[in-house]
């Protein structure tokens, strides 16, 4: 596709439920990033992949958050036992390199009820 694609666009989860958010990056982009954006705030870094290697996961808020990119393309962000404070927009971005411009998807809005 022409851009970064994220699915689903919206997700409502009951507290305690597990969720999986998908990101399809731009073809050929080696770098992939996940960000979390709370309402009215800037995106906060969660984790970063270069190809299939997860190089930085320092932003993941707890061990309930897990991300993978097994074949160096599609990535999945999984949140286990969701809590209300996990409600946010989760943004995925890809780039040709870590120091270049990043292309963002439309995000997944997660609401935990």
Partner 1 sequence: SQQGEEDPQALSIQEGENATMNCSYKTSINNLQWYRQNSGRGLVHLILIRSNEREKHSGRLRVTLDTSKKSSSLLITASRAADTASYFCATHSGNTPLVFGKGTRLSVIA
CB of 81 to partner 1, least distance (A): 25
Query: How far are the Cα atoms of 9, 43, 51, 82, 85 from residue 70, in angstroms, in the given order?
Result: 22, 24, 9, 23, 28
* Site for partner 1 contains 102 (CB under 8 A): yes
Which positions from 7 through 36 interact with partner 1, judged by CB under 8 A? Answer: 31, 33, 35
Which positions from 60 through 89 interact with partner 1, judged by CB under 8 A? Answer: none
Helix, strand or coil, per DSSP, at residue 18 = coil
**Of the candidate residues 13, 52, 68, 103, the single one contacting partner 1 (CB under 8 A):** 103
* Site for partner 1 contains 111 (CB under 8 A): no
Is the N-terminal amide bond of 40 cis, ω within 30° of 0? no
């Amino acid at each position: 596709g022409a851009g970064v694609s994220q699915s689903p666009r919206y997700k409502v989860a009951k507290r305690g439920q597990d969720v999986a958010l998908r990101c399809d990056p731009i073809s050929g982009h080696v770098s992939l990033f996940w960000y979390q954006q709370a309402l009215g705030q800037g995106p906060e870094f969660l984790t970063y992949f270069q190809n299939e290697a997860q190089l930085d996961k320092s932003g993941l808020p707890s061990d309930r958050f897990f991300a993978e990119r097994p074949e160096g393309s599609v990535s999945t962000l999984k949140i286990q036992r969701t809590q209300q404070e996990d409600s946010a927009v989760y943004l995925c971005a890809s780039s040709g390199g870590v120091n270049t411009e990043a292309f963002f998807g439309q995000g997944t809005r997660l609401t935990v009820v």
